[in-house]
Amino acid sequence: MTLRHVVTWKMAATDPAERAEHATGIASRLEGLFGVVPSIRALSTGVNTLAVEGNWDVTLIADFDDGAGLDAYQVHPAHQEVVGYVRSVSGGRSAVDFEV
């Protein structure tokens, strides 16, 4: 079994340039976790590129062996550093975890 963890965020900023900067900041920080957090099996991020009403700003897709791997990721110090930044710039979060 592989557990896929998908998270999307809306940025808190209303200025489009600032939103894009914050979204890119989240994506690059998350990408930096691959190879640092041992339980991450695959990781990709994406910053929204279309100005479609209702779209969120940035997405994470990360794969883990199981729930224990996701739990280890959640509490890893490097992830917690990223969480601090994300919380400082985001205005909303949505997530889903499913088996693939």
Measured CA to CA in angstroms, residue 63 lies from 54, 55, 100 at distances of 26, 23, 9
Residue type, 33: L
| Short-list 35, 34, 59, 43, CA closest to 3 | 43
Task: Say yes or no to pLDDT of 63 above 90.
Answer: yes
Residue 52 has pLDDT above 90, yes or no: no
Predicted confidence band of residue 7 (pLDDT cuts 50, 70, 90): very high
Q: What is the pLDDT of residue 51?
A: 80
Q: Could you give all domains of the chain from N- to C-terminal order, each with its CATH number?
A: 3-99 (3.30.70.100)
Residue range 8-51, pLDDT digits in tens: 999 999 999 999 999 999 999 999 999 999 999 999 999 999 98
Cα separation, 23 vs 46, in Å, equals 9
Distance CA 94, CA 8 (A): 5
pLDDT at res. 13: 96
